[in-house]
Amino acid sequence: MGGTCYEVFMAKAFNAPTLWNFDFSLQMYGAIFMMAGAYTLSTEAHVRGDVIYRLFKPRTQGYIDLVLYFIFFFPGVIALAFYGYEYASLAWKIKETSWNSPAQIQIYMAKSLIPAAGILLIIQGLSEVFRSIICIQTGHWPARMVVAEETEKILMRTSQDEDQKDVI
């Protein structure tokens, strides 16, 4: 955001747009997107078609998740990490620069985020597998640690707490 604000300020206030800022912003947005995958998985924020899934008992959900992680999730993220490493390694070897940028900024460092994102997804996927196993054994899903909460959830909870106080 800071880079975009800087670019707008330079272009509008001084009529001196930068050559590098577009590519910089593109790399930063890409980095945010790549690194958010594991966090999104840990908070159950990925889009999920659970029209039928939510009707199952937790133990059945655990079995379904366990099977699907091994059939679909792990092959994809292991490929992302493995081939992402090869892709980033080549970029580092040739000190790759952006071919469509007049500034020819270096992009090999940003490509290192591809295998890093894959590794983080593998680690979080293992955590999800263990959650599924615990659910299969106990019959209920283990609680997730909440490190950040959406503002609308906080407001809804506050509103519900106030409504309960009014009832009492």
The 10s digit of each residue's pLDDT in 115-146 is 999 999 999 999 999 999 999 999 999 998 87
**pLDDT at residue 9 in the model:** 93
Residues with Cβ within 8 Å of residue 84, at least 6 apart in sequence:
111, 114, 115, 117, 118
pTM over 0.85: no
**pLDDT at residue 75 in the model:** 98
Find the DSSP H helices in the chain: 2-13, 21-42, 58-68, 74-94, 108-111, 113-138, 151-167
**pLDDT at residue 106 in the model:** 87
**pLDDT at residue 61 in the model:** 96
The mean pLDDT of 47-62, rounded to a whole number, is: 91
Neighbours of 16 (CB within 10 A): 9
**pLDDT at residue 166 in the model:** 67
